[in-house]
Structure 1
Amino acid sequence: MTNDLLRAKQQLERHVLRLLADAYESNQDFCYCTLKTLVTTEINREIIRAILIDLRKDDLATYAKGLWTDDGELAGSGYAITPEGRDYLRALELEAAQ
């Protein structure tokens, strides 16, 4: 992979991990984001899904299905950042700041 492509991939990973980390920081007990909440006007569903697949392969994000709300209602499925993902995100953000 060329340097430009690697940099673009890291920027997309940083973006997705930042969204997952923000959700985690707001509710550290248990927080999963649906794919729909991660999609933006700039980054479509297919790109987000591809990034999430890579993040899951590297144990930087996790996926769960059959999630329930605190009120006992079915919430569907979603993605969450892992401790390794938080470490990787910190490293990416430090690198981007330099």
Structure 2
Amino acid sequence: MERSVARRLLSHFGDSPGLVGLVEHLDYNTALWRDLVLDVTKEFSPENPRKPFSMWEDFDEYFRDLIMKMTSLDPARGITAREALDILGFRMYSGN
């Protein structure tokens, strides 16, 4: 189950910078996850390619860009909910 989830996550949302950031984020306390991520990346090949969301043509390019920013594997590259709303054109108001 974990391998299947990791495979889909890496296939659809894993870009190279995000993967590097994720692996760097995982320390010795999460070595099993790091090893799983590294093992799963070896499964992709020309015969068994990744299917990144950024290349799905049925979606608007701005929507794809937003989803890719929201689902970045690198915790340092992710965006906040406020940033996502700003991208969508919403303005956050506080108070009265």
* Same fold, TM-score > 0.5, yes or no: no
Report which of the two has the higher share of strand. 1
Q: Compute the TM-score of the two structures, normalised by the length of structure 1.
A: 0.29
* Bigger radius of gyration: 2
Q: Compute the TM-score of the two structures, normalised by the length of structure 2.
A: 0.30
Which structure would you say has the larger RCO, counting Cα contacts within 8 Å and 6 or more residues apart?
Answer: 2
